[in-house]
Amino acid sequence: MISLRFPLRTTLIAVALVMGQGEAMSADLSKPLSSPIVIAHRGASGERPEHTLAAYDLAIREGADVIEPDLVPTKDGHLVARHENEISGTTDVAAHPEFADRKTTKTIDGQSETGWFTEDFTLAELKTLRARERLSQLRSTAYDGRYQIPTLEEIIALAKQRSKELGRTIAIYPETKHPTYFASIGMGTDAPLVAALDKAGWKTADAPVFIQSFEVKNLQHLKTMTGIRLIQLVAGEGGPADGVAPSYAAMMTPEGLRQVATYAWGIGPDKAMLWKGDAATTLVADAHAAGLRVHPWTYRAENQFVRPAFRKGTDPKAHGDVAGEIRAALGQGIDGFFTDFPQIGVETRNAVVRAR
């Protein structure tokens, strides 16, 4: 397991105590299998346009242990960071008349989508675009138009550079987006991802990398290609697009989790799956029993996204008590969590670990 050093020396000591003397923990707390890590969801995406070097760098400066790029391919075979391959919501592509004829409609994982798609652009063309805030009704647009779309190689370089400068390991947590779709059009992402990680010297389970996917077959394929830790993403409804399982709910039963553990190191569940009303579900304990780490997603500060018990007022843009929501999840023994607001996440995690 890689060493992810936390910003505070006291936190490091506390983590050592927790992981080395778990029997001393409060009896009403589940025991994490790993020291809880803070994963910057698309970077510090609550404060900068998501999936930009600026968002990743801010997350690192705020103390995040891990930065998360979603990866999609370009026409000429590069992997770039976008939440979706359709980019009209996160870039100014619609304002570029030279690309007007690239607007099209495609069916991706059974859903019809209209817009502009990364696989129809070369990297050089995408670099002429500028990122903008996706949640413009909730978050500031002050940084729109400033930043380019980064490549996977640029993100790896940033993580390595900051790790060296700060003296602590910054990990990356790439997600392969729509792998079945991209494989069907001859643009599979598994091989270029592994090649980039190999070039960085990251090949084994102790490398500062996690690879995640909502699908199963590509994770099983990646298991044969690399020793990097793999994370099975799951959501409450539906099932994987590759049709391997009838539903994510079936995958999250004790038997289903044992099957997941044959190829994955951990799971990334929708945070709602940790709760049934105000009561904790058995998901964290069941996953730990199967030897799987648990990294739920996504903790966002705005009232619109926090669980009802942690909202403050009725303004959807106002910040609720996301720290309280994170504390409740840490109380279940999760091994890390995704957040759009890394500073809040780091401060909350550190306080919880100190208290333990």
How far apart CA 134 and CA 307 sit, in angstroms, is 21
What CA–CA distance (Å, rounded) separates 198 from 96?
36
Residues in the chain, how many?
356
Other CB atoms closer than 10 Å to residue 191's CB: what's the count? 12
Look up the CATH superfamily of 9-84+150-355. Answer: Phosphatidylinositol (PI) phosphodiesterase (3.20.20.190)
Query: According to the model, what pLDDT value does residue 13 have?
Result: 34
* Three-class DSSP category at 342: helix
128 closest CA partner among 87, 174, 77, 72: 87
Q: Quote the pLDDT of residue 353.
A: 94
Q: What is the pLDDT of residue 237?
A: 84
Which is the catalytic residue, given 78, 83, 288, 319?
83
d(CA 2, CA 205): 8
41 is catalytic: yes
The DSSP element (H or E) to which 123 belongs, if any, is helix 123-126
178 catalytic? Reply is: no
Question: What pLDDT is recorded for position 194?
Answer: 98
What are the pLDDT digits (tens) for 128-181?
A: 999 999 999 999 999 999 999 999 999 999 999 999 999 999 999 999 999 999
Domains of the chain, by residue range, sit at 9-84+150-355
pLDDT < 70 positions in the chain: 1-30
Which is catalytic among the residues 41, 178, 221, 288? 41
Q: Which pLDDT value is given to residue 30?
A: 63
Tell me, what's the pLDDT at 27?
33
CA distances from 48 to 41, 69, 136, 318 (A): 11, 14, 11, 17
Per-residue confidence (pLDDT) for residue 5, from 0 to 100 = 39
At 279, list the tokens. 């009561």
Which residues, in sequence order, are CB contacts of 254 under 8 Å at separation 6+?
Answer: 286, 289, 290
Quick one: tokens of 65?
């242990």
- Three-state DSSP at 168 gives coil
